[in-house]
Amino acid sequence: MISFANDYSEGAHPRILEMMGRANLEQNDGYGLDAHSEKARQLIKRAVGREDVSIHFLTGGTQTNLLAISSVLRPHQAVITASTGHINVHECGAIEAAGHKVLTWHCEDGRLTPEGICRLFTEHTTEHMVMPKMVYLSDSTELGTIYTKAQLTDIHNCCREHGLYLFLDGARIGTALMAEGNDLTLRDLASLTDAFYIGGTKNGALLGEAYVICNPAFDEDFRYQMKQKGAMLAKGFLIGIQYEALFKDNLYFELAAHANRMAQRLKDGMLDMGVKFLVDSPTNQQFPILDHRIIQQLEQKFLFHTEKVIDEAHTCIRLVTSWATKESYVEDFLKDLLTLLS
Amino acid sequence: MISFANDYSEGAHPRILEMMGRANLEQNDGYGLDAHSEKARQLIKRAVGREDVSIHFLTGGTQTNLLAISSVLRPHQAVITASTGHINVHECGAIEAAGHKVLTWHCEDGRLTPEGICRLFTEHTTEHMVMPKMVYLSDSTELGTIYTKAQLTDIHNCCREHGLYLFLDGARIGTALMAEGNDLTLRDLASLTDAFYIGGTKNGALLGEAYVICNPAFDEDFRYQMKQKGAMLAKGFLIGIQYEALFKDNLYFELAAHANRMAQRLKDGMLDMGVKFLVDSPTNQQFPILDHRIIQQLEQKFLFHTEKVIDEAHTCIRLVTSWATKESYVEDFLKDLLTLLS
Amino acid sequence: MISFANDYSEGAHPRILEMMGRANLEQNDGYGLDAHSEKARQLIKRAVGREDVSIHFLTGGTQTNLLAISSVLRPHQAVITASTGHINVHECGAIEAAGHKVLTWHCEDGRLTPEGICRLFTEHTTEHMVMPKMVYLSDSTELGTIYTKAQLTDIHNCCREHGLYLFLDGARIGTALMAEGNDLTLRDLASLTDAFYIGGTKNGALLGEAYVICNPAFDEDFRYQMKQKGAMLAKGFLIGIQYEALFKDNLYFELAAHANRMAQRLKDGMLDMGVKFLVDSPTNQQFPILDHRIIQQLEQKFLFHTEKVIDEAHTCIRLVTSWATKESYVEDFLKDLLTLLS
Amino acid sequence: MISFANDYSEGAHPRILEMMGRANLEQNDGYGLDAHSEKARQLIKRAVGREDVSIHFLTGGTQTNLLAISSVLRPHQAVITASTGHINVHECGAIEAAGHKVLTWHCEDGRLTPEGICRLFTEHTTEHMVMPKMVYLSDSTELGTIYTKAQLTDIHNCCREHGLYLFLDGARIGTALMAEGNDLTLRDLASLTDAFYIGGTKNGALLGEAYVICNPAFDEDFRYQMKQKGAMLAKGFLIGIQYEALFKDNLYFELAAHANRMAQRLKDGMLDMGVKFLVDSPTNQQFPILDHRIIQQLEQKFLFHTEKVIDEAHTCIRLVTSWATKESYVEDFLKDLLTLLS
């Protein structure tokens, strides 16, 4: 079986494993206070172009979203997200379990708009309702789409106008920044958001998310929150070393670029066959709509998830590529699909 | 510098890294549903002598304690622990943050007694107070001491009598079970507790705790709780592979035995020099009481933590050994100490 | 000014105050364990036709909803409501603050349907999502509409089929049961729901809701939950006495009938003038749609809330009557409106 | 039976009921935004000598403690209390259920000391532990003792030095301020604490606590917290009217003085008979130590609670007087006790 089920099926890029191996018998300080984590922080600060950000290493996306949101909001404050947002659907109510309402705005392509934010803000007017206080975005989104610099700037301005914090989930920020059509940079994120993260789990690390705090208010006692939520690894250097490997040269972006390339091959190949897509994604998640019969055939050899039923005969599936996707996987898929469609 | 600061300064035992390397480019299912995790579960089930336990892999001790306790207790129910218990002191209020009061009993050597449990149980009589519902132990304890089979059986019986759950923190269960004087086995834990865990982080793994559920009530919807608390790793196979390596032969216990051996060398050496200890620990944590002046000298070359001030001239320090402690570290320490004491 | 702003502007019905005055210098047991509360429980048990229900007296609707839901659900479980439901909009995120996601279904007239429940249930399939476990209804609804016995039975059956609890918010159950077209009784509620409440605050009491537990699982340690949430009144007899007064004869229903009568007078009068309504409500809340200019005129003399803007020229307002609404208030309003419309 | 079980056995002082009766058919705004609540706020501001405090009316002590503490602390922050403190023992873990650890200091007579606060503060040094951020006191204490102005000033200074908030539970502040030996005033409380409350439930009101916020940071969005915790009464005027009655003249203090007078009669009478007391209380709670046999006899005619067993033959009981305690109750008790002791 060949898997297009997700971008976290394999271990870590060999250059990461190699660096871990070299450091294996060093005696490092615990809890992320080691020299590797510090070095990784310096590299990331250089990449985002700001010395005054704070960086904490966490183990996964849900944990990072949970901590970023719950460490800042007071109990009556709510977070705004696209209805498709990961925090709304796929985190088992983690934000609510931390006490906060998630306010949603319906978005066809996964991207939140200033209009949606503004409407939700103005509808919540009294102490009988929750108080919107943060906006949550992800780039790339759950549907593989990305924000332009103009769009993110508009959202940034909308947030400033209404006193809302802006937090960006970057579990797949690598593929977003390397996508065709993208004009955002890490530096832009550092100036347009209060906090964001640079995802490692889905871009070649064993595990790890680098949470970058741009607004100092988000950093107050953040390590207490990490500890309390069980998110402070004893061997924090384990993630530090990986980010050192990802950012000491261009590895982080190379891996994302490869994933995108594989996805665009899939996309172009299917477009050539006349396949329709749910959305036009420039990143490593593609959402082709296929006949049920064909999907069943593909499932004999390929792993992937179903996104949604379109009509009686058609379903949208999700194909995900990663740093580890081989070109032969893509060729195999396209060849088989072509045969099935003929 | 040579570190005796803790048992999580180094990476992973080479045989673990090796197995991770071999599996690195496999495509595994996510979220702990992969073949390696399943294989590791089978190996652990064999080691605990029960097919009907459930096993979940988590990333650290605080996370495991938090999940084990909060997934079972209702909001008005409390957990009983020794006053020195990790959940009471060193987890930044994680249990309270999940809504539960931690009831403490003062214990000189870190070991809870049936008498303490019984007293706390009988003092809580009405709905104006919390309802004690779980007992939390760790073996080995925060002070390196261990429970005998008779002691654990007494506590088990006390819990059954009062309708209390019994949960055992096994972050250092390896060194407990390999300690001189120990007569407990993993099989005993599986029959005397409702749940316990087999710590990996402090016994040679990169990260990971194997949470073993003996009482099926603890397993109901446990994966929902994992997800909600940000504890479900996308690449769950990362921990599965490590436990496969630790339990496919005797590695887990060999590593713990080494740590104990190094600690006993330290202890015997210091006893020979007339050094007094806070408690008599048979495991990898030792608590010698030394003159302040000598401690300052040792700190020039060795890393360790201070446990508590004893009097104007003396302080108790904590020395921790691990699977990675070299004999030369121990010899260096003893040699230097002997010189300082002469 | 004459207020149609809500049904809790006045104090208590004189027969309630009178009974409180008579009992004032008695020495009663605290915390709802007094003879008056016990007597009130007996009267309510007779009214609902079941001896085996449990009854607890609470101070308000949000407190009762919060306790009923959070005392039963585990952290990963969610409650389903109409999008207009009080718990979704007007309780400042109380349910989320207690850790639970509120899943909503859009409902034009405030009434949830088995179809909506079923859809939300079937969409939530894995531990990555919350688990729907309870359905929340209110009768009468936020829009004044009521459920028929057939509708509530269908929802009951849908809940049983999917293992969902059914909880009914009865803050305005009096007006629902006394409405034209209603065919439900308190006895029906006791057999079709797991728990419901009989609202006092909005039906002539100073404060108080009688929470009736039909499913014994809801009653386990419920008094602990009350205490913990600050909901156990020291002078619990204060609410007990009021329910004694409301249920020792037919007072509870007389008061609701009066409120409905006043509302229907308003409705009929406005219908005669050709006024349109947002929904067809048979209870004490009416939602006429009026011209902005007319609303401004009415606001000179009458207090009421705005429900929603309909179009550039029209807004829907909410008029609420109560046990204390005088016929002259209604006549004044209709007379003034007629003049304004002429 | 005559009850000395508590100070909340009776309803309300007749002057309070009378004022409620007069206002009964007025149409008041909801949620504490009415003219009576506003008038009561003005009267209390005058009594505490500050115009710039904020005042919110709540229904009981546990609710007020819960709100005052949880609305201010962040999740990793803890509150310090005497081990006997109401929040530690008798609120069913309400503070922990809101996420905060309660740190305790053992105090023989119920009064916390600067030494205890300082010790707990200095022991909590890293993010692995909770961060002490608030001190909770009650005056009078659970054992009827009171703080002098010098003592409260010392605690105030200690809190300022360590950046700790100071919150004072005034459920029984009336009897404290009217006690012999007291030199504190409401004005002092307003300058020495960040927030405190003036208890009504235990001093002649049907229900109600007036929460006085002296530090504006405590007031930020406090009404959201009230609503979210189910503490915002629809008929908030119900409590406003009562405080208007209690503070428009000297009624609040007259009632407390009466309670104290009755308690001192009991105390003096028993001292004359040679009875020993657990503590020397100048307020309305007395803790005599009596022979078991005598206690059993007294229980035939009087209601009271047992405080603690002293030795095989003796137990300490708690006798509580109130605004409603009649002199004849006291005389009866003393007469019977004298007979039993003879």
Among the partner-chain residues B8, B17, B25, the one whose CB lies closest to the CB of A234 is: B8
Inter-residue contact A201 to B235 (CB < 8 Å): yes
Is the minimum CB–CB distance between B255 and chain A shorter than 8 Å?
Answer: no
Among the partner-chain residues C75, C92, C97, the one whose CB lies closest to the CB of A128 is: C92
Among the partner-chain residues A14, A206, A228, the one whose CB lies closest to the CB of B97 is: A228
Give the residue-averaged pLDDT of B40-66. Answer: 98
Is the minimum CB–CB distance between D89 and chain C shorter than 8 Å?
Answer: no
Cβ within 8 Å, pair D230-C28: no
Among the partner-chain residues D71, D74, D127, the one whose CB lies closest to the CB of A223 is: D127
Digits of tens for pLDDT over chain A (342 positions)?
A: 999 999 999 999 999 999 999 999 999 999 999 999 999 999 999 999 999 999 999 999 999 999 999 999 999 999 999 999 999 999 999 999 999 999 999 998 999 999 999 999 999 999 999 999 999 999 999 999 999 999 999 999 999 999 999 999 999 999 999 999 999 999 999 999 999 999 999 999 999 999 999 999 999 999 999 999 999 999 999 999 999 999 999 999 999 999 999 999 999 999 999 999 999 999 999 999 999 999 999 999 999 999 999 999 999 999 999 999 999 999 999 999 999 999
Q: What is the pLDDT of residue A162?
A: 98
Is the minimum CB–CB distance between C228 and chain D shorter than 8 Å?
Answer: yes
**Where, residue-wise, is CATH 3.40.640.10 in chain B?**
14-250
CA-nearest residue to D123 within chain B is B89
Is the minimum CB–CB distance between D262 and chain C shorter than 8 Å?
Answer: no
The whole-angstrom separation of Cα B147 and Cα B138 is 9
Of chain C residues 7-66, which have a CB less than 8 A from chain D?
8-12, 14, 17, 20-21, 23-30, 59-66
Smallest CA–CA distance, residue A100 to chain D, in Å, is 11
CA-nearest residue to D129 within chain A is A224
Cβ within 8 Å, pair A9-B27: yes
Is the minimum CB–CB distance between A292 and chain D shorter than 8 Å?
Answer: no
Contacts of D97 in chain B (CB under 8 A): 75-76, 99-100
Smallest CA–CA distance, residue C76 to chain B, in Å, is 6
Query: Is the reported ipTM for this assembly greater than 0.90?
Result: yes
**Where, residue-wise, is CATH 3.40.640.10 in chain A?**
14-249
Q: Is the CATH number 3.40.640.10 carried by domain A14-249? A: yes
**Where, residue-wise, is CATH 3.90.1150.10 in chain C?**
2-7+252-341
**Best B90, B92, B130, B131 residue to mutate vs chain D (most D CBs within 10 Å):** B92
Smallest CA–CA distance, residue A250 to chain D, in Å, is 34
Q: List the Cα angle B100/B102/B104 in 5-degree steps.
A: 165
The whole-angstrom separation of Cα A288 and Cα A285 is 10
Distances (CA, A) of C217 to A142, A151, A154, C72, D222: 39, 51, 51, 8, 34
**Best C31, C71, C72, C76 residue to mutate vs chain B (most B CBs within 10 Å):** C76
3-state SS assignment for residue A130: coil
Is the minimum CB–CB distance between D125 and chain A shorter than 8 Å?
Answer: no
Contacts of C97 in chain A (CB under 8 A): 75-76, 99-100
Is the minimum CB–CB distance between C230 and chain B shorter than 8 Å?
Answer: no
Q: What is the pLDDT of residue A214?
A: 98
Token reading at A262: 């594989």
Contacts of B142 in chain D (CB under 8 A): none
Torsion sign, CA atoms C91, C95, C99, C105: negative
Is the minimum CB–CB distance between B226 and chain C shorter than 8 Å?
Answer: yes
* Chain A touching partners, 3 or more CB pairs below 8 A: B, C, D
Over residues B240-286, the pLDDT tens digits come to 999 999 999 999 999 999 999 999 999 999 999 999 999 999 999 99
Smallest CA–CA distance, residue B97 to chain D, in Å, is 4
Element (H, E) at A290: strand A288-291
For B17-40, letters b (16+ CB in 10 Å) and e give: bebbbebbeebbbbbbebebbbbb
**Best B17, B24, B69 residue to mutate vs chain A (most A CBs within 10 Å):** B24
3-state SS assignment for residue D130: coil
Q: CB within 8 A of C225, min separation 6: which ones?
A: B75, B76, C67, C70, C71, C231
Over residues B166-215, the pLDDT tens digits come to 999 999 999 999 999 999 999 999 999 999 999 999 999 999 999 999 99
Smallest CA–CA distance, residue D43 to chain A, in Å, is 25
Torsion sign, CA atoms D224, D225, D231, D237: negative
Is the minimum CB–CB distance between C202 and chain D shorter than 8 Å?
Answer: yes
Give the residue-averaged pLDDT of C76-80. Answer: 98
Smallest CA–CA distance, residue A76 to chain D, in Å, is 6
Q: Is the CATH number 3.40.50.2300 carried by domain A2-7+252-341? A: no
Q: Are strands B314-320 and B285-286 parallel, antiparallel or unpaired?
A: antiparallel
Is the minimum CB–CB distance between B163 and chain A shorter than 8 Å?
Answer: no
Could you give the angle at which helices D237-247 and D14-23 cross, rounded to 10 degrees? 130
The whole-angstrom separation of Cα B63 and Cα B65 is 6
Q: What is the pLDDT of residue A18?
A: 97
Q: B145: exposed, middle or buried (C-beta count within 10 Å: 0-12, 13-18, 19+)?
A: buried
Is the minimum CB–CB distance between C182 and chain D shorter than 8 Å?
Answer: no
Cβ within 8 Å, pair C130-A92: yes
Q: What is the pLDDT of residue C110?
A: 96
Among the partner-chain residues B75, B128, B221, the one whose CB lies closest to the CB of C76 is: B221
**Segments of chain D scoring below 70 in pLDDT:** none
Q: What is the pLDDT of residue A141?
A: 98
Smallest CA–CA distance, residue A234 to chain B, in Å, is 7
Give the residue-averaged pLDDT of B300-324. Answer: 97
Q: What is the pLDDT of residue D34?
A: 98
**Best C101, C102, C128, C133 residue to mutate vs chain A (most A CBs within 10 Å):** C101
Torsion sign, CA atoms D199, D200, D201, D202: positive
Q: What is the pLDDT of residue A278?
A: 97
The whole-angstrom separation of Cα D167 and Cα D150 is 17
Cβ within 8 Å, pair C221-B131: yes
Of the candidates C239, C332, C326, C323, the one whose C-alpha atom is nearest the C-alpha of residue C14 is: C323
Is the minimum CB–CB distance between A231 and chain B shorter than 8 Å?
Answer: yes
Q: What is the DSSP string of B300-342?
A: TTEE-EEEEE-SSSEEEEEEE--TT--HHHHHHHHHHHHHHH-
Q: What is the pLDDT of residue A245?
A: 98
Token reading at D318: 């708690």
Smallest CA–CA distance, residue A115 to chain D, in Å, is 26
* Chain B touching partners, 3 or more CB pairs below 8 A: A, C, D
**Best A59, A64, A87 residue to mutate vs chain B (most B CBs within 10 Å):** A59
Element (H, E) at B88: helix B86-89
Q: What is the pLDDT of residue C203?
A: 98
Q: What is the pLDDT of residue D268?
A: 98
Is the minimum CB–CB distance between C224 and chain D shorter than 8 Å?
Answer: yes
Is the minimum CB–CB distance between C128 and chain A shorter than 8 Å?
Answer: yes
Q: What is the pLDDT of residue D144?
A: 98
Q: What is the pLDDT of residue A323?
A: 98
Among the partner-chain residues A91, A92, A235, the one whose CB lies closest to the CB of B201 is: A235
Contacts of B91 in chain D (CB under 8 A): 128
* Chain C touching partners, 3 or more CB pairs below 8 A: A, B, D
Fold (CATH) for B14-250: Aspartate Aminotransferase; domain 2 (3.40.640)
Is the minimum CB–CB distance between D127 and chain A shorter than 8 Å?
Answer: yes
Smallest CA–CA distance, residue A301 to chain B, in Å, is 13
Q: What is the pLDDT of residue D251?
A: 98
The whole-angstrom separation of Cα A38 and Cα C250 is 74
Cβ within 8 Å, pair D24-C8: no
Of the candidates B15, B14, B332, B303, the one whose C-alpha atom is nearest the C-alpha of residue A23 is: B14
